[in-house]
Amino acid sequence: MDKEKIFIINYFNKNDMRWYEQEKYKSREKYINTITGATKQLLKMCLNV
């Protein structure tokens, strides 16, 4: 919530915008890595690799 407020207040500040984008992608990467890790584990279990 606070991060969104900061982004709206400083919308035209490119540094803050970049910071906001970085935060967004960091959390997305973490989510993707978690899913990828779980998928790999499932494949290992199914294929007994």
Q: What is the pLDDT along the chain (49 residues), one digit of tens a residue?
A: 455 555 555 555 555 556 667 777 777 778 777 888 888 888 888 887 5
3-state secondary structure of 12: coil
Residue 26 phi/psi, 5° resolution?
-60, -50
Cβ(7)–Cβ(16) below 8 Å = yes
User: Does pTM top 0.75 for this prediction?
Assistant: no
**Residue 38 carries which side chain, given as an amino acid letter?**
A
State the residue range of the domain holding 14.
Answer: 2-47
Q: Is 48 left (phi over 0), alpha (psi -120 to 50) or beta?
A: left
State the total domains in the chain.
1
